[in-house]
Amino acid sequence: MKSPLEALHIELIELIVTFLEPCDIASLRLTSRTIVNKASQGQGHLGRLLQHCTITGIVRNETTAADEGTEHLRLLTEAFRNLKQRSPKGGLSSLCLRVAARIEGADGELTEPDSFGSWRTVWDAALRTFNVTMAALNESQLTVGEHLDIFGSLKGCTLACDAFLAFAQKFASMHIFGSLKRLTVSLSAPYKAATEHESEAAVTETEAQAESRHSNLILQSIMQVLPIMPELESLDLHWYNLGASMSTSPVPSATRQGSGTSSASTSLKECSLRGIYVSESDLLQFLEAVHPATLTLTDVRLVSGTYASIFKYLTSPDSPVTCYHLDDIREKNALVHFDVPGSSKFRYSRDTVGPSSLTRQTSHVKEEIHYRFARGRAIGSGERWRWLKSKAQEFGPPDDGVYDFIELNSQKVAAAPDDSDDD
């Protein structure tokens, strides 16, 4: 149904717009194509006010034409150039990349569907959005000064790590992130195409080993990116596990940087690593290179080694770490429980253990960390069911029969059974 505002003259809509805040103008422009055309007349000065920009790629079931992507790049580059020329700061404070699922209705308008189950289509849209945006930034040389968010504000959507590796290698000399303070990025291993059928017998490494290989490449790639972000203070890296959907095709290796090069120009105030698979030695090398003051490790899984050297680094008097938060970390498949007061998030059949979360700061941060693993299997319960479901939603892997991009990013809370004996 058409909006009654469409019947108003352009001059009247222009007058209305002058009394609105920028966020309200944006809402008005979303009403219809007619309104967006009328509300855009005489509003060139609004571009000067833009500081926080969100680029949203549209997820569709049909394949996007190549010429459409070229046109998107042209238009976005032009918009970025205009913004650079007119903005008092010559750039953006923050840039956020997102995707949104849309279907075309009978009236030709795009609307959000009730559900969207094709995760590969979501990943494809994320890749297109990232490539077009980075290319437009490069061509326009528009700077991003405070925060770059690469799909970190969504669930069930990440960027394939080979695209980030290519970004690190191709744009190593970019100056547009020279003053960037925060980087938030959600990544995953490259994924199989829907038509690919690879023999399981041909896979020579476990899923955990493959995830670790890709995660470690990303840690190396982050080290390559840091020199072009010398002012970076906060890094939030999220990893999404694709499981059996991960491609076994080789990924170009990142050139390993010497720790001295990175540590000389990088001193993060905050570093958060979530969901990554990594070896003890590679994790320690990364932490020693970026030496953050505040560290968060969430659902980090060591595929080899133990946390002994990591915890020794955190508690060493020479360590720059002044605050850390450890939550649901693992040595291979074993969940780490800390020997501190508190209870675990769910029960075990033959053991009572401490919590799987530990936060320390100020005078307690250098206290020795003691931990152990639970004996016996976890007992099914509502708490465990919700815990497992939340982990799958946040860190994968995607389930083709359950995955729903719309539901993942809604505010609904799933109800759990009161009791269950399932693992």
Please give the full DSSP string across 50-92, using - where no structure is assigned.
--EEEEEEEE-SSPPPHHHHHHHHHHHHHHHHHHHHHSTTSEE
The rounded radius of gyration (Å) of the Cα atoms in the chain is 24
The answer to whether position 356 is within a domain reads no
Q: Write out the two tokens for 71.
A: 């046109």
The answer to whether position 406 is within a domain reads no
What average pLDDT score do residues 43-67 get?
A: 70
The answer to whether position 396 is within a domain reads no
Q: Domain count of the chain?
A: 2
In the structure, what pLDDT confidence band is assigned to residue 229 with cuts at 50, 70 and 90?
A: confident
In the structure, what pLDDT confidence band is assigned to residue 211 with cuts at 50, 70 and 90?
A: confident
- Let me know whether 84 and 99 are in one domain: yes
**Higher per-residue confidence, 22 vs 252:** 22
The answer to whether position 421 is within a domain reads no
pLDDT value at 7 more than 60:
yes
Measure CA 193 to chain center: 21
The answer to whether position 418 is within a domain reads no
Domain that residue 30 falls in: 1-49
The answer to whether position 212 is within a domain reads yes
The reported pLDDT for the residue numbered 63 is: 59
Specify burial of residue 263 (Cβ count, 10 A radius: 0-12, 13-18, 19+). Answer: middle
pLDDT in tens, 159-189: 998 898 888 777 666 678 888 999 999 999 8
Task: Specify which of 44-53, 166-175, 388-397 reaches the highest per-range mean pLDDT.
Answer: 388-397
Q: Write out the two tokens for 38.
A: 């009328």
pLDDT value at 85 more than 90:
no
The reported pLDDT for the residue numbered 257 is: 46
Q: In this structure, how many other beta carbons lie within 10 angstroms of the beta carbon of residue 18?
A: 9
The reported pLDDT for the residue numbered 256 is: 47
Q: Find, among 312, 316, 266, the residue nearest to 292 by Cα.
A: 266
In the structure, what pLDDT confidence band is assigned to residue 318 with cuts at 50, 70 and 90?
A: very high
The reported pLDDT for the residue numbered 247 is: 74
pLDDT value at 297 more than 80:
yes
- Let me know whether 12 and 118 are in one domain: no
pLDDT value at 417 more than 70:
no
CA 208, 297, 233, 54 torsion-angle sign: positive
- Classify 246 as helix, strand or coil: strand
The answer to whether position 401 is within a domain reads no
Rounded to 5°, angle at Cα 282 from 156 and 158: 15
d(CA 64, CA 397) in angstroms, rounded, equals 26
In the structure, what pLDDT confidence band is assigned to residue 400 with cuts at 50, 70 and 90?
A: confident
- Let me know whether 131 and 178 are in one domain: yes
What average pLDDT score do residues 396-419 get?
A: 76
pLDDT in tens, 271-286: 999 999 999 999 999 9
Q: In this structure, how many other beta carbons lie within 10 angstroms of the beta carbon of residue 244?
A: 10
Q: How many residues does the chain have?
A: 423
Q: Find, among 242, 200, 240, the residue nearest to 400 by Cα.
A: 242
- Let me know whether 280 and 324 are in one domain: yes
Residues above pLDDT 70, as percent of the chain: 79
Backbone phi and psi for residue 297, each to the nearest 5 degrees, phi listed first: -120, 115
pLDDT value at 308 more than 50:
yes
pLDDT value at 264 more than 60:
no
The reported pLDDT for the residue numbered 218 is: 81
**Higher per-residue confidence, 408 vs 245:** 408
d(CA 412, CA 15) in angstroms, rounded, equals 39
Rounded to 5°, angle at Cα 32 from 26 and 37: 75
What average pLDDT score do residues 342-365 get?
A: 91
Ramachandran category for residue 363: left, alpha or beta (phi over 0 → left; psi -120 to 50 → alpha): alpha
Q: Which of 19, 34, 49 is the last residue of a domain?
A: 49
- Let me know whether 12 and 55 are in one domain: no
- For the stretch 411-423, what's the b/e string if a residue is b when 16 or more beta carbons lie within 10 angstroms of its beta carbon? eeeeebeeeeeee
pLDDT value at 413 more than 70:
no
Lowest mean pLDDT among 26-30, 39-43, 123-127, 402-406: 39-43
pLDDT value at 386 more than 50:
yes
pLDDT value at 365 more than 50:
yes
pLDDT value at 260 more than 50:
no
Task: Specify which of 108-122, 286-300, 339-353 reaches the highest per-range mean pLDDT.
Answer: 286-300
- Let me know whether 15 and 114 are in one domain: no
Torsion angle of alpha carbons 295, 300, 303, 307, nearest 10°?
A: 40
**Higher per-residue confidence, 146 vs 18:** 146
Residue with tokens 């976005």: 76
**Higher per-residue confidence, 247 vs 253:** 247
CATH of residue 57: 3.80.10
pLDDT value at 222 more than 50:
yes
pLDDT value at 370 more than 50:
yes
Lowest mean pLDDT among 118-132, 189-203, 315-329: 189-203
Is the overall model pTM greater than 0.85, yes or no? Answer: no
Residue with tokens 């650079």: 84
